[in-house]
Amino acid sequence: MDLTAKDAFFIGGTWVPVTGREALAVVDPATEQQVSSVPAGTAEDVDAAVAAARVAFAGWAATPVADRAALLTAAADALEARTDEVALLISTEMGTPLTFSKAVQVGNPVRVLRSYAQILADYSFEEQIANSLVVKEPIGVVGAITPWNYPLHQVVAKVAAALAAGCTVVLKPSEVAPLSAFALAEVFEQVGLPAGVFNLVTGLGPVVGEAIAAHPDVDMVSFTGSTAAGKRVQAVGAGTVKRVALELGGKSAFIVLDDADLGKAVKIGLANCFINGGQTCTAWTRMLVPAGKYDEALELIKDAAAKYPVGAPTDEGTRIGPLANAAQFDKVRGFIEQAVADGATVVVGGADRPEGFDTGYYVKPTVLGDVAPGSQVEQEEVFGPVLAVIPYADEDEAVAIANGTPYGLAGGVFGGDQEHAVAVAKRMRTGMVDVNGGRFNPLAPFGGYKQSGNGRELGEYGLEEFLEVKSLQL
Mean pLDDT computed over every residue of the chain: 97
The model carries a pTM of: 0.96
Q: Answer whether residue 460 shows pLDDT above 90.
A: yes
**Residue intervals in the chain for CATH 3.40.309.10:** 252-441
CB 6 within 8 A of CB 16: no
Catalytic amino acids? 247, 281
pLDDT at 33 over 80: yes
pLDDT exceeds 80 at position 17: yes
User: Looking at the chain, which residues constitute the CATH 3.40.605.10 domain(s)?
Assistant: 8-248+452-473
463, 165 in Cβ contact below 8 A? yes
Q: For residue 20, name the pLDDT band (cuts at 50, 70, 90).
A: confident
Q: Is the pLDDT of residue 340 over 80?
A: yes
CATH of 252-441 given 2.40.50.140, 3.40.309.10, 3.30.565.10, 3.30.1330.10: 3.40.309.10
pLDDT at 287: 98
Beta-ladder partners of 11: 14
pLDDT (average), residues 390-401: 98
* SS3 sequence of the chain: CCCCCCCEEEECCEEEECCCCCEEEEEECCCCEEEEEEECCCHHHHHHHHHHHHHHHHHHHCCCHHHHHHHHHHHHHHHHHCHHHHHHHHHHHHCCCHHHHHHHHHHHHHHHHHHHHHHHHHCCCEEEECCEEEEEEECCEEEEECCCCCCCHHHHHHHHHHHHHCCEEEEECCCCCCHHHHHHHHHHHHHCCCCCCEEECCCCHHHHHHHHHHCCCCCEEEEECCHHHHHHHHHHHHHHCCEEEEECCCCEEEEECCCCCHHHHHHHHHHHHHHHHHCCCCCEEEEEEEHHHHHHHHHHHHHHHCCCCECCCCCCCCCECCCCCHHHHHHHHHHHHHHHHCCCEEEECCCCCCCCCCCCCCCCCEEEECCCCCCHHHHCCCCCCEEEEEEECCHHHHHHHHCCCCEECCEEEECCCHHHHHHHHHCCCCCCCEECCCCCCCCCCECCEECCEECCECHHHHHHCCEEEEEEEC
Angle 179-191/83-94 helices, nearest 10 degrees?
160
Give the pLDDT band of residue 2 (cuts 50, 70, 90): confident
pLDDT digits (tens, 9 = 90+) for 185-230: 999 999 999 999 999 999 999 999 999 999 999 999 999 999 999 9
Domain spanning 8-248+452-473, CATH architecture: 3-Layer(aba) Sandwich (3.40)
- pLDDT over 70 percentage in the chain: 100
Is residue 470 very low, low, confident or very high in pLDDT (cuts 50, 70, 90)?
A: very high
Q: Closest by alpha carbon to 274, among 310, 316, 236, 230? A: 310
